[in-house]
Amino acid sequence: MLLDEIVGYKKSYLKESKKAISEYALLKKLATHPKTKKRDFKKALKKTKALSLIAELKQASPSSGVIIKNYNPAKIAKLYEKSGASCISVLTDER
């Protein structure tokens, strides 16, 4: 089953990744990165009493393959924001 394959791959990937850098070191690096900006996902969803929309960005999916050939997440995110999305979920898996 495809989901079992994805979970198996991700478990082994994470195990190997943890050998390269500890979770603590990774979080510290992220906290001090100049482009890191904290955003409160939950707060954004509760900002209005109206229905909130979570828009999703992904270039490909395991079942469908490539969805967008000329993928420009920054441009798409700006369009989602202009269209009223409260939050944007970005899928970043390389597979």
Instruction: Tell which residue, 45, 66, 65, has the closest CA to residue 55.
Output: 45
Can you list the positions of beta strands (E) in the chain?
54-57, 60-61, 65-66, 87-90
Q: Which two tokens stand for residue 56?
A: 């999703």
Instruction: Tell which residue, 67, 51, 47, has the closest CA to residue 59.
Output: 67
**How does pLDDT run across 58-94, given as a tens digit for each residue?**
999 888 889 999 999 999 999 999 999 999 998 887 7
Q: Are 4 and 18 in a shared domain?
A: yes
Q: Are 50 and 94 in a shared domain?
A: yes
pTM for the model: 0.65
The total number of structural domains that make up the chain: 2
**How does pLDDT run across 4-62, given as a tens digit for each residue?**
988 999 999 999 998 999 989 989 988 888 876 777 888 888 888 888 999 999 999 88
Q: Are 46 and 26 in a shared domain?
A: no
